[in-house]
Structure 1
């Protein structure tokens, strides 16, 4: 008889998926929350995934410092660098331990004392919880599917309380009311009419309105370019940096699905994400073009009246994506 070999122990899937999310986030393929939620079928522990990737980016400078000092990426070049970063995050800032059942984990654990020695070189700037907790949660109503009034009524039916601010000239008063929002309360933004504001700890990822794209999780900073552009229904718009698609679908809502939006994205994977978001939103006036817009000419976009040039790096809450956490992460 042949002697059966003990099957090799594989790296926990949590770390593999977290590494993939961290990589995709670095490539601008979406926010951490979006990417985690997209991967929920590959790994159901979304809180753990979110916590790992969030902490990695919160501690990015420290981790890069340690990797440089130890030359870990060069010495262990056969290991996916994003897996290394995730395991270092877990070892130093997460559970602060690794099972050591796989060769990769054993390798990273072997650097633990070196990591701790080099950490003394770093002047730590701790993440302030209040910085995260005071940021409101913005939700844009997808008016292609429901009016703002209908959305407000729907939230009221769920026993949310609408806090009104009628004085359009009193911005300071508006800011104070937003800062004072309590659990169960929400407001309408005074600048972007389709934008609703909720307390910072409100989560919508399991809410039916989010799942069916009636509402979109989109920060105010991301909503302003389209709001200021204000294209008229029936017009032709060129969205030069379209992926992942939040502003593209906002443009479609502004056009009331009348007219044409040329949504250009040069990266094939991002273009695929763009098509998915556009399709789910109910936007029928969008033509997704997978091409480098700098290599295009005017004949490819006839009749353009408005142009939106807003790279995704300035979009839906860059600061929030670096600081965002999930409550009670496991």
Structure 2
């Protein structure tokens, strides 16, 4: 929604006769939620999420973050049902079709949300058809043999295969066979087909309080995260610069692959994240990691201890990376993983 469009929305809201502060707040929250929902659905359609729901909601442009977040999450939960209800009533084929996301959000509020008086054209349109919406919902429940709406929502949820739980074995402390035998006491354990030092468990395995997690013998680490160090595949004795090291899982993995040899220079500019990095490295038992609380951009690659670097692990997207390499003649192996977005 552009700035001029938003100004128009604000002006119409202010002119709405008899509207309370709660009604105006709900009015804007629905439109902010519709904007977020559109980004989410477009990402799903392209199978490429642009950002997580939280990052979209907590952007500076969203004012009522709590209400917006709740509306998006609840609408997504009821979305298959809402689509069926709107299809049954043919309301989405009207002039509001181009504002489908706002129709979904508002339909959720009309059918399931808080009983707050509504202002706005779409709100008035759907309220005027509330009886037909409720009738369509009842018919869908009856045809689906669902006892209630909650059951209908569960029945319409897409079948999702649970994601497995990935565990990286910290070979600085234990070997993979020992870790596997220990974990097989509580779950079925498989070896990963790509990364040699990670094990795969059922997704619902709760290992957060497991003694091997607490003492750093194993790390609960996503497969994508473990592939960074595996892709670099550092050889014992290498010197590695980890540019944005916190929270330290990849750094600790590098240390394990180096088998305690060489040196890792782990840079972290944020002091709070630095403490997390220190804790991770301490639990891992790695003694070849030098932690620096500084911006790696301030590092002169020609100065000791950076001049003899064997490889470099840069975390964020750095558009000027090629210029950095060209200017400093820093042509060592580099891994540049993209920061992941939670959908």
Please state which band the TM-score falls in when normalised by the shorter chain: 0.5 to 0.7
> Cα–Cα, structure 1 residues 129 and 317, in superposed 2: closer, same or farther, change >3 Å?
farther
Give how far 1:234 is off.
Answer: 2.0
Distance 1:202 1:312 in 2: 33
User: Residue in 2 aligned with 1:305?
Assistant: 310
Task: Report SS of the residue matched to 1:152.
Answer: helix
Task: Report SS of the residue matched to 1:138.
Answer: strand
Give how far 1:191 is off.
Answer: 1.4
Distance 2:117 2:282 in 1: 47
Contact 2:245 2:277 in 1 (8 A): yes
1:206 to 206, 209, 226: 209
TM-score by length of 1: 0.52
Contact 1:243 1:312 in 2 (8 A): no
> Cα–Cα, structure 1 residues 130 and 277, in superposed 2: closer, same or farther, change >3 Å?
farther
Say which one has the larger Rg: 2
Contact 2:238 2:258 in 1 (8 A): yes
Contact 2:241 2:264 in 1 (8 A): yes
Distance 2:203 2:118 in 1: 38
Distance 1:152 1:216 in 2: 13
Give how far 1:86 is off.
Answer: 4.5
Find out whether 1:249 has 2:249 as its counterpart. no
Give how far 1:134 is off.
Answer: 2.8
2:340 to 291, 314, 318: 318
1:268 to 252, 255, 271: 271
How do 1:1-330 residues align onto structure 2 when only pairs under 5 Å count? 58=53, 61=56, 63=57, 73=63, 85-86=65-66, 89=69, 130-131=159-160, 133-156=161-184, 158=185, 184-298=187-301, 299-300=303-304, 301-311=306-316, 318-319=340-341, 321-322=342-343
Where in structure 1 are there 5+ consecutive unaligned residues?
Answer: 1-56, 74-83, 95-108, 121-125, 161-183, 323-330
Give how far 1:278 is off.
Answer: 0.8
Give how far 1:275 is off.
Answer: 1.1
Contact 1:222 1:317 in 2 (8 A): no
Distance 2:220 2:317 in 1: 15
> Cα–Cα, structure 1 residues 255 and 207, in superposed 2: closer, same or farther, change >3 Å?
same
> Cα–Cα, structure 1 residues 228 and 87, in superposed 2: closer, same or farther, change >3 Å?
same
Distance 2:115 2:294 in 1: 46
Task: Select the structure that is richer in helix.
Answer: 2
Contact 2:314 2:337 in 1 (8 A): no
Task: Report SS of the residue matched to 2:219.
Answer: strand
Where in structure 2 are there 5+ consecutive unaligned residues?
Answer: 1-51, 75-113, 127-153, 319-335
Distance 2:284 2:117 in 1: 47
Contact 1:189 1:197 in 2 (8 A): yes
Q: Deviations over 1:53-88 (max 9, x none)?
A: xxxx54765x569x96xxx83xxxxxxxxxx63476
**RMSD in angstroms over aligned alpha carbons?**
3.8
Contact 1:257 1:284 in 2 (8 A): yes
* Structure of higher RCO (CA pairs closer than 8 Å, 6+ residues apart): 1
> Cα–Cα, structure 1 residues 282 and 91, in superposed 2: closer, same or farther, change >3 Å?
same
TM-score by length of 2: 0.51
> Cα–Cα, structure 1 residues 246 and 146, in superposed 2: closer, same or farther, change >3 Å?
same
